[in-house]
Amino acid sequence: MTNILIPNQQDLDQKLQKIVAWWSKHFHVIADFDRTLTKAFVDGKPTSSLEGIFDEEGHLGEIYSAKAMVYFNTYYPIEIDPTVSIEKKKSLMHEWRGKVFMAKIEAWITRNIITQAMKSDQIMFRSGYEIFFEMLKKNNIPLLIFSASGLWYEWIYGSLAHKKILSDNVDIIANSFVRNEEGKAVAYREPIIHSYNKGEVVVKDLPIYDEIKNRKNIILIGDSLGDVHMADGFDYQNIIKIWFLAHEDPENRKQYQEKFDIIILNDGPMDEVNKLLKKIVK
């Protein structure tokens, strides 16, 4: 059985009661993609992020892959270091994303290359994802998927379409490139979305804003401490924050217990999320 950690059961119960009282038409879901909707481990082995898969499989050649690995080894330890301030992380994550995006542009990344990479068998959604997406679709509940990936929103869009779980209630907020007539990336669009500024995206500029502006209750789902801020730009009344934890870091334990209402240990399935949704949509 998947281990579930609830730091404050009473607080969680009170939040859920308030959300249920408002009913589902006043509710929406915000989720990260990599290692949140998808698994962090497959057959006991850690999986890469979408971008990691892309880099490891060499879709842009050895020169690009070597650059990407250097950037990862330089910046990723900073991203997960609990002793580094959020402000410093924001600056360095922006720097990291910018370098990776420029490397992709220099390697002439195209839509066709991404389409080919999407066929990777390393992408595995969490058990119970079909129920999750179907419940949201059936009850017309908006789902906002945030991603800091450097592979454009088309990768996520394509992944959802391939699984036949893409519907009108789903909106993807991710990085994107400016392309030429041949579909090659020639520049990247600002603002860059990274793991520590998702909540700073200008929500009112999103196509789905009119649909969610009066939905004051949120379930937020992520897998990193930075994801806790994905709802910062929303005017909400009640929020339940859920964290998928693939492996516990003792140094981060206090932080995630303070910031999340439900912690799903051991890279578990969507069952706990689906249980909450059923109570809300009745």
Would you please indicate which residues are annotated as catalytic (active-site) residues? Answer: 32, 34
Where would I find the H helices in the chain?
A: 9-22, 50-56, 61-79, 86-106, 111-117, 129-138, 152-162, 209-212, 253-259, 271-281
Under 8 Å between Cβ of 6 and 260 = no
DSSP 208: T
Instruction: Decide: helix, strand or coil at residue 125.
Output: strand
For 91, 132, 141, 215, the CA distances from 26, given in Å and listed in that order, are 35, 18, 9, 4
How many Å separate Cα 195 from the centre of its chain?
Answer: 9
Instruction: Give the Å distances, CA to CA, from 150 to 91, 101, 223.
Output: 17, 6, 18
Choose among 219, 198, 274, 272: nearest CA to 4. 272
**Tokens 């900073």 -> residue:** 78
CB 220 within 8 A of CB 227: yes
